[in-house]
Amino acid sequence: MNVDRFSLPLSRPLATASGTIDERSGFVVRYDHRGETGVGEATPLPGWTESLADCEAALDRAGEAASAGGHTDVLLALDAGEVPAARHGFATALLDADARADGVPLYRWFDSERRCERVPVNATVGDSSPAETADAVERAVEAGFECCKVKVGSRTVADDAARLRAVRDRVGDGVTLRADANGAWSREEAERAFEAFADLGVAYVEQPLPADDLSGHATLRGGPVGVALDESLVDRRVDAVLETDAADVLILKPMVLGGPGNAHTLAMRARERGVEPVVTTTVDGVVARLAALHVAAAIPNVAPCGLATGDRLAADLAADPARVAEGEMTVPQDAGLGVDPSEVRTDA
């Protein structure tokens, strides 16, 4: 097992619950398995995963476990609840090697019967005035996106409704609109927002209430606007969230869940419960983005996913084989992730 640190500058600052960041730092993990070298990525994100220091310490322990035993020992040394990014890095490398050894793209390693060449993706539009929001969505639609997620919650509910009304007036009813409140609303505000957004054809609101208010999210369900949970999955098991019937949609981030295998398993479990999975990145390098893409590709009839985030980076670990065009991302059909481990560099 080999671990190399990297830092990638962002093309523009990224606002998170823990503050604004201007680079993504993490580790490239390589692991030899079944005669192949697999590559993975561990890129922790403040507020979502362990810290960079804890991730590095966990990978150091994992390296010792790899020297003393096999991949099972490494996985046991990496707790998905404690160090999800570190576990993601190793688990992705292991799965990449497995898929390479079997001669199949990773999504077919999850489901050998699947054939998937493209995955639908959404565009994300930040907070701005009604006219600027409408302009941004219009540009996304002109670029081929049929689904757009608009950030809300920084303004009043009435102001956000006005922004979404401007979008509808500009692009019409043929575009799927989602909203992401990042847990900003009270229950009363969320109820008013859902009532206003229903008239605007908003498909769902992502994290309308604080992460720990599962009962409040459950109360919001049942109307024309769905409830999607994202931050609520950080500190609790997905099974526990499903038991509360608090969500119509689960936003699944493989980096937060401890690896692509975990994310795929949870996506299928959600489907069994009638909850739709949407796969997203945490603004990662190309290795982790490809891992998330393969998870999405392994889900039949997957809804548009939040995978088109490569443009948030000013530099990357390798050339990206997954092209975004007309609102879809192409799925590499080469064995494994679709990127040659020897071409993954940490000196970008």
- Positions marked catalytic: 151, 253
Q: How many residues does the chain have?
A: 348
Q: How many CB atoms lie within 10 A of CB 36?
A: 17
Query: Is-contact 321 336, C-beta < 8 A?
Result: no
Of 318, 321, 346, the closest CA to residue 335 belongs to 321
CA distances from 15 to 10, 19, 23, 131, 151 (A): 11, 6, 11, 22, 12
Q: How far apart are CA 105 and CA 82, in angstroms?
A: 29
Angle at alpha carbon of residue 96, lines to 70 and 119, rounded to 5°: 145
Query: Is-contact 284 309, C-beta < 8 A?
Result: yes
CA distances from 211 to 17, 207, 234 (A): 12, 7, 8
Query: Sheet containing 36-42: which strands, arranged edge to edge?
Result: 2-16, 19-33, 36-42
Dihedral-angle region of residue 269 (phi above 0 means left; psi in -120 to 50 means alpha; beta otherwise): alpha
Strands 118-120 and 19-33: unpaired
Q: How far apart are CA 149 and CA 180, in angstroms?
A: 7
**Which 3 state secondary structure label does DSSP give 234?**
coil
Burial of residue 106 (number of CB atoms within 10 Å: 0-12, 13-18, 19+): buried
Of 251, 177, 172, the closest CA to residue 211 belongs to 251
